[in-house]
Amino acid sequence: MSAANISRYPVPDINGLPQDIKERVLAVQEKAGFVPNVFLALAHRPDEFRAFFAYHDALLTRESGLSKAEREMIVVATSNDNGCQYCVVAHGAILRIRAKNPLVADQVAVNYRKADITPRQKAMLDFAMKVSNDSKSVCDEDFVTLRHHGFSDEDIWDIAGITAFFGLSNRMANFTSMRPNDEFYAMGREPS
């Protein structure tokens, strides 16, 4: 696949990248076996690349009352709602792997209300959809509902933060026509 498929914008050669970005790209390649296109597409703007992944890591790698699979559920549900092909396909793969469940990503993408997830997780995704589509109406009652499901206020920040960050990511991927790598589609689909 040519670089032209990855993004509307020029995609830099890995060897020409600033050293810190090059190291990050090579590390993910080492781990995943390929370079996810988001790294190449966003490297067009090194400063924004650094901030983007710093934000990403701050939200997705911190200690949290949300499991790693739950965080990916938020990404998948809001990304399908925003029509973001890159994030649904790439994070769908990660969700299948994190949840050790080959079915849950497609279920959550199309209609999380009918997915094989817990009522607590559905409440989490209801709130994510409100933050994504109607954040001006977020109110105290939303916090009461979420606490009722066992979420701490820090967990609630995590839900909102991941939703808001992937809202940015979805808009950037849609705007640049970022293409998901072919490798993602089948990852994690074998029963564990």
Q: Which residue has the tokens 């990050």?
A: 24
Residue in 13, 103, 150, 152 binding a copy of itself, rule: CB under 8 A: 103
List b or e across 31-47, with b for residues whose CB sees 16 or more CB atoms inside 10 angstroms.
eeeebbbbbbbbbeeee
With CB under 8 A as the contact rule, which of the stretches 14-22, 24-32, 67-75, 106-114 interacts with a copy of itself?
106-114
Q: Give Cβ neighbours of residue 159 (< 8 Å, ≥ 6 apart).
A: 66, 74, 124, 127, 128, 131, 146, 151
- Between 30 and 66, name the residue whose CB sits nearer to a copy of itself: 66
| Residue 66 token pair | 């949300």
Residue 159 token pair: 């839900």
Location of structure tokens 């970022």: 178
Crossing angle for the helix pair 19-32 and 46-60, to the nearest 10 degrees: 50
- Our finding on whether 4 is near a copy of itself (CB under 8 A) is no
Distance CA 8, CA 179 (A): 10
- 110 makes contact with a copy of itself (CB under 8 A): yes
Reference 128, options 148, 99, 108; nearest CA is 108
Q: Coil, strand or helix: which one is 86?
A: helix
Find the binder of a copy of itself among 15, 139, 144, 192 (CB under 8 A). 139
State how far the Cα of 62 lies from the Cα of 49, in Å rounded to an integer: 20
x/- mask, a copy of itself, residues 153-182, rule CB under 8 A, reads x---x--xx-xxx-xx-xxx-xxxx-x--x
Q: Is residue 25 close enough to count as binding a copy of itself by CB under 8 A?
A: no
Binding of residue 20 to a copy of itself (CB under 8 A): no
Among 26, 28, 65, 102, binds a copy of itself (CB under 8 A): 102
> Does residue 3 touch a copy of itself according to CB under 8 A?
no
Among residues 74, 80, 121, 151, the one that binds a copy of itself under rule CB under 8 A: 80
State the residues that interact with a copy of itself by CB under 8 A: 8-9, 44-45, 47-48, 50-52, 54-55, 57-59, 62, 79-80, 82-85, 88-89, 92, 102-103, 106-107, 109-111, 113-115, 131-132, 135-139, 143, 153, 157, 160-161, 163-165, 167-168, 170-172, 174-177, 179, 182, 185-186, 189-190
